[in-house]
Amino acid sequence: MIPRDHPTAGERRHYRRLASARIGRSAGRPLDIGIVLHDFALGGTERIAVRLANAWADAGARVTIFCGSTEGPLAALLGSEVEVVGAMPAIPRGRSSRRRLGQAAAAHWDLHPVDGLYVPGNYHWPVIGASAKLPEAVRPAIVAQVSASLNKPQRGRLRQFGFDLRMRRLLKGADAVAALFDQARDDADRIAGGRRAETIALPALADDVPAPVAQATGKTIVAAGRLVREKGFADLIDAFALLDDREASLVIVGAGIERAALIARAAARGVGDRVILPGYVADIRPWLDDARLFVLSSHFEGYPAVLVEALAAGRPVVSTRCTSAVDTLIDDAETGSIVPVGDPKAMARAIGAQLAAPSPDPHRLAARVAHHRIGPVANAYLRLFEQAALVRLTTD
């Protein structure tokens, strides 16, 4: 059954007529969508691609993922109707691997044309060029996604200039650009040199995401992510040790190479008995249901899906200013607070203030991120494919 936020039967027929007109096939067939992925690693970009592939297939499209390698844990989340084609021979991640992946994908689309090509995230932009050079009879309408901030002050003026030049070259072959928040959209338009970008929310939530449970009565602080240095969990443990409230506990969900160092750090700070590292879990929602507060301590992020999940669970958040995207999610005291990167003292003050404040209405917090459900997002992408294909149809 197609969720109500997916395209209607009439809309799907319209997409099919459009696709038929573009590449001259018989009317009434499903829309063909291609996706290029390097592999199915545990990453935000890959998770988004898998979610959208499943949603588009559920909506009646034919979806093919062309990948450098079919390996990776996220492959298990693909629906049975999504076709996966691996490069032969496989193309593992490495020097120039994305360029070679783009060439292999273009060769596949040349033999097996698709109507629209989705390029997920900044990392995959180098694959665009080869498909953009395909003959018009088989060239797909290409939609590239912006998954991270494009303008970063820490780059400095000269490095940012060089970055802009490279991004402009990589995005040249895209027919449309989808950004996860408005500033990234504006930066993409500035870099690409024209108004081509549109804001489409991160599909971080299932359509049937559970409603929030009542706010937890305890003082459990939850964080989640790979246990690597850039996630800032060392800063979080230092901040937790500065709290005056000794009834609070800290749970850091995730796995990674920093696990032993973090356990040792908690012990050295005198909070080892109140810091829990349960390891990797497939779903953090049960931990969020038991939490009073969620903390994102990262040094840098693209678009933090975990903040969306925390707010959908009805939990306020404290986040570092690891990306300009946090301003779109934390915009008042009810949703939480933003602190500088690498400042445990400021983080401790913010956490303490949240623990001392009355619990916000969890349903109001969840309502703020309802637009991140997969149904509306998948539908928005289908409309963007339509617009991109129309532009190509009228300019061919």
Per-residue pLDDT reduced to its tens digit, 144-185: 998 877 777 667 778 878 877 888 888 889 999 999 988 888
Q: How does residue 193 score in pLDDT terms, banded at 50, 70 and 90?
A: confident
The stretches of 193-258 forming alpha helices (DSSP H) are: 233-242
One-letter amino acid for residue 284 of the chain: I
Q: Are 56 and 114 in contact (CB under 8 A)?
A: no
At 363 the pLDDT is 96
Alpha carbon distance 126, 251 (integer Å): 38
Cβ-count burial of 261 within 10 angstroms (0-12 exposed, 13-18 middle, 19+ buried)? middle
At 394 the pLDDT is 58
- Residue ranges of domains in the chain, CATH in brackets: 9-206+373-395 (3.40.50.2000), 220-370 (3.40.50.2000)
Q: How does residue 338 score in pLDDT terms, banded at 50, 70 and 90?
A: very high
pLDDT of 17 strictly over 80: no
Alpha carbon distance 144, 132 (integer Å): 12
CA dist 370 → 112, 125, 199, 304, 335 (Å): 37, 29, 15, 15, 14
Per-chain mean pLDDT for the chain: 88
The encoded tokens of residue 200 equal 């489409």
Residue for token digits 């969508």? 33
Alpha carbon distance 54, 49 (integer Å): 9
The encoded tokens of residue 368 equal 């703020």
Q: How does residue 26 score in pLDDT terms, banded at 50, 70 and 90?
A: very low
Alpha carbon distance 37, 32 (integer Å): 17
Q: How does residue 396 score in pLDDT terms, banded at 50, 70 and 90?
A: low
At 161 the pLDDT is 81
pLDDT digits (tens, 9 = 90+) for 293-322: 999 999 988 889 999 999 999 999 999 999
Residue for token digits 């593992």? 92
pLDDT of 6 strictly over 70: no
Tell how far CA 292 is from the center of its chain: 25
Ramachandran sector of residue 251 (left: φ over 0; alpha: ψ -120 to 50; beta: rest): beta
Range from 120-134, 150-164, 268-282 carrying the lowest mean pLDDT: 150-164
Alpha carbon distance 62, 113 (integer Å): 11
By C-alpha distance, which of 209, 177, 202, 163 is closest to 301? 202
At 249 the pLDDT is 97
Helices 182-192 + 156-171 axis angle, to 10: 80
Alpha carbon distance 365, 162 (integer Å): 40
Is the N-terminal amide bond of 89 cis, ω within 30° of 0?
A: yes
Q: Are 134 and 112 in contact (CB under 8 A)?
A: no
What's the average model confidence in pLDDT over 260-289? 95
Alpha carbon distance 143, 127 (integer Å): 12
Q: How does residue 387 score in pLDDT terms, banded at 50, 70 and 90?
A: confident
pLDDT of 250 strictly over 80: yes
The encoded tokens of residue 117 equal 């090509």
One-letter amino acid for residue 37 of the chain: L
Torsion angle, CA of 253/255/256/257, rounded to 10 degrees? 90
pLDDT of 392 strictly over 80: no
Residue for token digits 């993409």? 188
Please compute Rg for the chain using Cα positions: 22
Ramachandran sector of residue 198 (left: φ over 0; alpha: ψ -120 to 50; beta: rest): beta
One-letter amino acid for residue 383 of the chain: R
At 42 the pLDDT is 78
Q: Are 236 and 224 in contact (CB under 8 A)?
A: no
Alpha carbon distance 100, 102 (integer Å): 5
Q: How does residue 40 score in pLDDT terms, banded at 50, 70 and 90?
A: very high
